[in-house]
Amino acid sequence: MQRLRIRYAKRGRLRFSSHRDFQRALERALRRAAVPMAYSAGFSPHPKVSYANAAPTGTASEAEYVEIGVAERCDPERLRAALDASLPPGLDVVEVVEAGPGSLAERLEASHWSVRLPSLTLAEAERAVGLLLAAEAVTVERVMKDGKRLLDARAPLLAARVDADPEDGCAILDMVVRHVTPAVRPDDVVTALRVVADLVPAAPGPWIWAATRLAQGPLQPDGTVGDPLDPDRAAVGATAPGPV
């Protein structure tokens, strides 16, 4: 069995698709592309597909990962093109590499996020981020399947800064968040900003924000997030592809 690791993106309106929506779309795409899937043994065999740390519904991402097992050797680039053509626009297959040794999930230690904050002025966002970074802990509440739960949104936040969008001046939060259980999501960090800075919306209605995961992978010594597929490329003697 050959194992292949797939990096895909959720873009545009497809950011509102859930992880289950993507699972169904991928299963159909694998059939359309005639991928020779490997199956588990037992009374109820199922295709060998393993998902890793999917982004929350409503967030865009340039770095989602899934691993599949195939019964026949496949050319990774041909499989990438066939899968990408079989998925709807907005669910885009960026790269496919042959898996090397080690677990993909264990390499996903942190995420690099970009969050647009149109509900805040640049000065408000900078002040709130400064207060959040200065705090030892910031507790936020999230509603989960088993009820409400309190989370510390500060501890996993490894780095954060605010920039202004050069086109419209919107405040953009750039941050690196360590993966913990339960995961601290972009909306938890936005809630923490509101808590520490005692922010009140300028107009009635929900707070507006939009998050994109730019990368997820191993934490580097300089605090950045590395590429989790680098060890696989090295193992098979491949070179990293150019921009997609």
Query: Which residue ranges make up each domain of the chain?
Result: 2-107+228-236, 110-217
Distance (Å, whole) CA 144 – CA 164? 33
Q: Positive or negative, the Cα torsion across 164, 168, 171, 174?
A: negative
The Cα 171–Cα 119 span in angstroms is 9
Three-state DSSP class for 151?
strand
Element (H, E) at 216: strand 210-217
User: What global pTM score does this model have?
Assistant: 0.91
Nearest to 140 by CA among 148, 150, 130, 131: 150
Return per-residue pLDDT of the chain as tens, 244 residues: 899 999 999 999 999 999 999 999 999 999 999 999 999 888 888 899 999 999 999 999 999 999 999 999 999 999 999 999 999 999 999 999 999 999 999 999 999 999 999 989 999 999 999 999 999 999 999 888 888 899 999 999 999 999 999 999 999 999 999 999 999 999 999 999 999 999 876 555 667 899 999 999 999 999 999 999 999 999 877 444 443 3
Q: What is the pLDDT of residue 146?
A: 82
Residue 30 CA to residue 142 CA, distance in Å, equals 35
Question: Which among 91, 111, 87 has a CA at the least distance from the CA of 33?
Answer: 87
Same fold, 2-107+228-236 and 110-217: yes
What CATH topology corresponds to 2-107+228-236? Answer: Alpha-Beta Plaits (3.30.70)
First to last CA, the chain: 28
Which of 222, 211, 219 has its CA nearest to residue 58?
211
- The dotted CATH code for 110-217 is 3.30.70
